[in-house]
Amino acid sequence: MLMPETMRNTAATLVGFGDIKKARSIDGWEEFLHDGDAFLQTGIAAYTKGKKAFTPEILYNVIAMAIEKFVMAALMQRGALPYNHTMGDLVDSMDEVFPEGMSDIKDGLLDLDRYQEICDVDTFNITPPAMAAIPAMLVLAEKMQELVYKTTGEKQG
């Protein structure tokens, strides 16, 4: 039986797994990884020492920057980028690239978005966290750090 013309054209344009090229790493991912380490260390030290200049709102932002840097490092190493930089977008991108690694931290990370909804000018909202919420945020950042070091194959220093 002969294939209709439309089926022959479609069959000729199918792409197989062999046609998919591995994404290339994006230069500079190591810098993002080390920046994440620095932000996390700053957050841990400031919280541990009880430095008054580091309010819960500032600590939240330092921790969020650490998480963002870690996510960017992992994604860039795999040749991927998030659609945006809200915590939800970062989590979605990580979940696509490393679905097995996100299960125990995904909900906690998504919960961080409730403190700052700053993408839409009309619904702009910032709610500073309580100092009591900071230790859990630091644990999330440390878990993200562990995941990223594991997935990148880098040795944690």
- 8 in a domain, yes or no? no
119 versus 126: which is more confidently predicted?
A: 126
Q: What SS3 class is residue 117?
A: strand
Task: Look up residue 126 and give its DSSP letter.
Answer: E
Rounded Cα distance, 12 and 59, in Å: 56
Domain assignment present for 51? yes
The number of distinct structural domains making up the chain is 1
Q: Is 43 part of any domain?
A: yes
In the predicted model, is pLDDT for residue 104 greater than 70? yes
Hey, how many other C-beta atoms are within 10 angstroms of the C-beta on 81? 12
Rounded percentage of the chain residues whose pLDDT exceeds 70: 80
Asked, for residue 21, whether it belongs to a domain, the answer is no
Could you list the residue range(s) of the whole structural domain that residue 93 is in? 28-151
Higher pLDDT, 65 or 22: 65
Q: Which residues contact 91 (CB under 8 A, 6 or more apart)?
A: 102, 106, 109, 110
At 17 the pLDDT is: 46
The CATH number of the domain where 40 resides is what?
A: 1.20.120.330
Is 95 in a helix, a strand, or coil? Answer: helix
Residue 14: the pLDDT is: 61
In a domain, 92, yes or no: yes
Does residue 73 fall inside a structural domain?
yes
Tell me how crowded residue 136 is: count the other CB atoms within 10 A of its CB. Answer: 14
Q: For residue 1, is it within any domain?
A: no
Record the tokens describing residue 135, joined without a space. 């230790």
Sole residue written with tokens 């430095």: 51
Per-residue pLDDT tens digits for 84-103: 878 889 999 999 998 888 98
Do residues 29 and 76 make contact, with C-beta atoms less than 8 angstroms apart?
A: yes
Would 104 be classed as within a structural domain?
Answer: yes
- 3-state SS assignment for residue 25: coil
Q: What is the pTM of this model?
A: 0.81
- Mean residue pLDDT of the chain comes to 86
